[in-house]
Amino acid sequence: MTTKYYSILENNQLILPWSKDYEAAQKKIQGDKKAELATLTESSLNVDTLDSNNEITVYTQDLLEDFMDRQKNGSYYLDNAFFLIDDFDKRFEFKDSRYLRIIYLVAALSQKNSVTQKINWMLNFAAIFNNVDEIKDLVSSYGLKEWSDFDYKFMEELLKDPIVGPTWEKRRVTLHFSSIRYQQYFEAAQILQDVHELLNMTSGKIDLDRLQNEHSLELLHMSYELIKFFPDKKD
């Protein structure tokens, strides 16, 4: 059995004791943009002795201002995010700003994982809408090419509940498909589940153990910042 512990690294120093409870680390990340999440995964069940069975990983937190600054250097994912924000504002009458947080999180994870442009569109549509026919209309409206029947069947699967990542009591299972195409769809499903988990930051019920994509653990502070910039009540 493997066990994961959480702490906070700041100025190359651990400032919180290792704990299986990540609540203290999560709160520190929200309030301190210099805080970095540190995780320790060990299989010996002895956190005081670090050996070859232990693995420490540090997740530097992305800041919203830095992410937005990357637009200056050009980014397909950010360009697409800004396009969708402008178009959705005209096309739909959303009652809250949740869709804005979704678009930014999808852009960030799409960029970090270098997903294809089609997968980026899929993630945005599946995270915001819950009707495949509505998604088909948007695909047609935007003139998106190369969407197949398989893609729409995949979208139907993405929209099924529950849209949450699994919990693990033992070692996580990593799947790799022989087809790169199917591997991309599998990773897209994981990213979508992570986006929904990161959105739970509004209620403080985010479960770090459910996050499946390593890059998602770098977006905890940004998720908190997005709530401040785009609260549920839309102006």
pLDDT digits (tens, 9 = 90+) for 71-83: 666 789 999 999 9
Confidence of residue 204 (pLDDT cuts 50, 70, 90): confident
Could you give the CA distance from residue 109 to residue 130 in angstroms, rounded to a whole number?
Answer: 20
> CA-CA distances (angstroms) from residue 12 to 38, 39, 108, 234?
11, 14, 25, 39
Query: Is residue 169 over pLDDT 90?
Result: no
**pLDDT at residue number 67:** 84
Report the pLDDT averaged over residues 66-74. 73
CB 4 within 8 A of CB 40: yes
Asked if residue 234 has pLDDT above 80, the reply is: no
Mean pLDDT across 221-229: 93
pLDDT exceeds cutoff 80 at 31: yes
SS3 17: coil
| Amino acid 49: pLDDT | 52
Average pLDDT, the chain: 88
Pull the structure tokens for residue 146. 């190369």
**What tokens appear for 178 in the block?**
């022989």
**Percent of all residues in the chain with a pLDDT value above 70, rounded to a whole number:** 88
Q: Is it the case that residue 48 has pLDDT exceeding 90?
A: no
d(CA 211, CA 70): 25
pLDDT over threshold 70, residue 9: yes
pLDDT, residue 149, reads 95
d(CA 94, CA 83): 16
Q: Where is average pLDDT lowest: 42-51, 57-66, 180-189, 213-222?
A: 42-51
Report pLDDT for 36.
Answer: 97
